[in-house]
Amino acid sequence: MLKKTAMIAILGVAFACACNGESEDGELVDGIFTEEEWAKIGELSPLEDPPPDPTNRYEDDPAAAAFGQKLFFETAYAGPLMIGDDGSNGGLGDAGETGKVSCASCHEGPWLIDLRSTPNNAALGAGWIPRNSASMINVAYYAPWIENNGLLDSLWSESIVDVEFDLGFNSSRLRLAHAIYDNHRDEYNAIFDPDLDPALDPLSAEAARFPADARPGSPEWEAMTVEDQDHVTEMMANVGKALAAYLKLLVSKNAPFDRYVAGESDAINEAAKRGLKLFVGKAGCVECHATPHFSDDDFHNNGLAAEGPNIVTDEKGRYDAIDFLLGNEFNSSGRWSDDPNTGRLDGVVKDDGLIGLWRTKGLRHIAETPPYMHTGQFQTLEEVVDFYNEGGHDAGFQGTKDDVIVPLNLSDAEKSDLVEFLSTLTGEEVSPDLLRNTLAP
């Protein structure tokens, strides 16, 4: 705490010198911010490296990250499409076709968002997923809760949850195991121990031990030995850890806002400065969008009445996620975690107070990643600001709205300034080399 406070003080002094800001006689920082406001602003920058995850011992392994980059574009293990391309929905092929879905299918472009599904509020994988695809840039800063409802408690478990989700890949861990053996065996074996079992080769005399398509609960899976089940499940966990190692590299920093806080007075314009003042003051955005990645990593009920094509309107947010989170064999306390003693799940229980709570989204590069909300029901930042200015929706939402969600009484000019500030949170783009399909010849 002392180090952070000292840093803010140093930043404030440096900025004052550069910008004729707050001085000993009480002048405002840069002619606009009070000392209290500037202290809040100092808590939002700079963006340091993503936090470590002790449950993934491969997260900083360059070989694992390189492997994860390949896996991000891999389609070989995808199961049959439930919804085909109708000529207008952006579908990935004909219904029933396999090998069509990859992570990159719903995370494209420099900010890794869904540029394909139509309408664009929800994502079309094997079927319609009732979620707007979030950006994967800076996703490693969410700690520990991943997904909008906190369904997972690590980035590596999030990276594999869609494999056996029917609307995602509609696949199975045996399809995945065979794809990894057929296409990536040597690379996998060089990183992970033990090596993949040679019986995964369909020409092996013992090939019957590993069916072509099986998952927990299926007759084919139940017919396998426990040892073979564990071998395949460990492989699946390792795939998630390699993907997480890759995603941890996808970091965007040095936004105009960061340069402004560091003392570059003209890094953002006057409207954005007024918007920043609103953000930490009258609009109260900083109450939830705290920390340098602009999320408090907590859950809140913002009074959103979910709507839109392919959206489940009666989802209960965090409440709905708890059973899966606690029962997930890939959670942080499970046998596949590299540190089952983090205590992340301590005190996590399901109660009615969680109904309608959703995780606070980070705001960096927010201007580049429409549409907004987990439902994708707002196409512009102006719509988002209007929603919060009105104090959320009056009815139709699940649970009880948070006390901080109240009408803000912002003028049109103030709303415009707030949007202008949000546009200053876009940092440098990730290197194109990290976004390249390394499966391609």
Would you say residue 435 lies in a domain? Answer: no
- What mean pLDDT comes out for the span 165-174? 98
Half-sphere exposure of residue 411: CA atoms within 13 angstroms, side-chain side: 5
The pLDDT score that the predictor gives to residue 34 is 97
pLDDT, one tens digit per residue, over 261-300 is 999 999 999 999 999 999 999 999 999 999 999 999 999 9
* Residue 10 confidence class, pLDDT cut points 50, 70, 90: very low
pLDDT, one tens digit per residue, over 66-89 is 999 999 999 999 999 999 999 999
Indicate if 32 and 69 belong to the same structural domain. Answer: no
Indicate if 124 and 203 belong to the same structural domain. Answer: yes
Domain boundary pick from 250, 282, 303:
250
Domain boundary pick from 221, 250, 279:
250
* Containing structural domain, residue 127: 62-250
Average pLDDT, the chain: 94
Would you say residue 56 lies in a domain? Answer: no
Considering its fold, how many domains does the chain have in total? Answer: 2
Is the pLDDT score of 327 beyond 80? Answer: yes
Would you say residue 390 lies in a domain? Answer: yes
Is the pLDDT score of 205 beyond 90? Answer: yes
- What mean pLDDT comes out for the span 167-179? 98
Distance between CA atoms of 55 and 57, rounded to whole angstroms?
6
pLDDT, one tens digit per residue, over 220-246 is 999 999 999 999 999 999 999 999 999
Is the pLDDT score of 14 beyond 90? Answer: no
The share of the chain scoring above pLDDT 70, in percent, equals: 94
The pLDDT score that the predictor gives to residue 272 is 98
Is the pLDDT score of 180 beyond 90? Answer: yes
Three-state SS string over the chain comes to: CHHHHHHHHHHHHHHHHHHCCCCCCCCCECCCECHHHHHHHHCCCCCCCCCCCCCCCCCCCHHHHHHHHHHHHCCCCCCCCCCCCCCCCCCCCCCCCCCCCCHHHCCECCCCECCCCCCCCCEECCCEECCCCCCCCCHHHCCCCECCCCCECCHHHHCCCCCCCCCCCCCCHHHHHHHHHHHHHHHHHHHCCCCCCHHHCCCCCCHHHCCCCCCCCCHHHHCCCHHHHHHHHHHHHHHHHHHHHHHCCCCCCCCHHHHHHCCCCCCCCHHHHHHHHHHHCCCCHHHCCCCCCCCCCCEECCCCCCCCCCCCCCCCEHHHHHHHHHHCCCCCCCCCCCCCCCCCCCCCCCCHHHCCEEECCCCCCHHHCCCECCCCCECCHHHHHHHHHCCCCCCCCCCCCCCCCCCCCCCHHHHHHHHHHHHHHCCCCCCHHHHCCCCCC
The pLDDT score that the predictor gives to residue 275 is 98
Would you say residue 437 lies in a domain? Answer: no
Indicate if 100 and 222 belong to the same structural domain. Answer: yes
Indicate if 334 and 387 belong to the same structural domain. Answer: yes
Indicate if 407 and 349 belong to the same structural domain. Answer: yes
- What mean pLDDT comes out for the span 350-378? 98
Question: 181 — phi, psi (to 5°)?
Answer: -65, -45
Indicate if 245 and 328 belong to the same structural domain. Answer: no
Would you say residue 98 lies in a domain? Answer: yes
The pLDDT score that the predictor gives to residue 441 is 72
Indicate if 163 and 137 belong to the same structural domain. Answer: yes
Domain boundary pick from 222, 250, 278:
250
Indicate if 234 and 125 belong to the same structural domain. Answer: yes
Would you say residue 431 lies in a domain? Answer: no
Is the pLDDT score of 406 beyond 80? Answer: yes
Would you say residue 436 lies in a domain? Answer: no
The pLDDT score that the predictor gives to residue 40 is 98
The pLDDT score that the predictor gives to residue 440 is 76
Indicate if 214 and 235 belong to the same structural domain. Answer: yes
- What mean pLDDT comes out for the span 126-141? 98
- What mean pLDDT comes out for the span 116-125? 98
Indicate if 283 and 232 belong to the same structural domain. Answer: no
Is the pLDDT score of 7 beyond 60? Answer: no
Would you say residue 404 lies in a domain? Answer: yes
- What mean pLDDT comes out for the span 255-262? 98
Indicate if 413 and 297 belong to the same structural domain. Answer: yes
Is the pLDDT score of 344 beyond 90? Answer: yes
- What mean pLDDT comes out for the span 100-110? 98
The pLDDT score that the predictor gives to residue 6 is 40
Indicate if 209 and 87 belong to the same structural domain. Answer: yes
The pLDDT score that the predictor gives to residue 287 is 96
Question: What CATH number does residue 18 fall under?
Answer: 1.10.760.10
The pLDDT score that the predictor gives to residue 20 is 36
- Cα 180 to chain center, whole Å? 25
